[in-house]
């Protein structure tokens, strides 16, 4: 499955961080929605709001030990998606998504 966010293909959605790789990339934290108002739709038709976005040289490590997990749970976290990329592109992609969606847990 996949999700397109701000023109970039993200792998997932994954319910468990163990599905993520120890690689450089951008991750989004999603909350599944059942209403008409939502941010993105997965390839299987599920609808989600983006509640956080970030980037790391190790997506798995960052997500697993993230300092904003409390905010994720408070915003009905359900899934992860990831776009594996490196270098300056990570920051550019994360900033673009953050600017477009203004996720509630997105404060750095």
Quickly name the fold that domain 2-101 has.
Answer: GIY-YIG endonuclease (3.40.1440)
- Tell me if the pTM is above 0.75: yes
Q: If we measure between CA atoms, which residue out of 31, 85, 15, 32 comes closest to residue 57?
A: 85
Question: How far is the C-alpha of 47 from the C-alpha of 44, rounded, in Å?
Answer: 9
pLDDT computed for residue 41 by the predictor: 86
For residue 107, name the pLDDT band (cuts at 50, 70, 90): low
Mean of the per-residue pLDDT values for the chain? 91
pLDDT computed for residue 93 by the predictor: 96
Question: How far is the C-alpha of 54 from the C-alpha of 82, rounded, in Å?
Answer: 10
The answer, yes or no, to whether residue 108 has pLDDT greater than 60, is no
């Amino acid at each position: 499955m996949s999700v397109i966010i701000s023109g970039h293909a993200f792998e997932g959605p994954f319910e468990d961080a163990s599905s993520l790789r120890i690689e450089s990339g951008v991750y989004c934290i999603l909350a599944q929605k059942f209403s008409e108002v939502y941010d993105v739709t997965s390839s299987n038709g599920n609808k989600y709001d983006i509640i956080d976005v970030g980037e790391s040289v190790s997506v798995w490590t960052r997500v697993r030990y993230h300092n904003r997990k409390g905010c994720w749970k408070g915003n009905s976290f359900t899934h992860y998606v990831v776009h594996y990329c490196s270098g300056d592109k990570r920051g550019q992609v994360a900033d673009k998504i953050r600017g477009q969606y203004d996720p509630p847990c997105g404060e750095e």
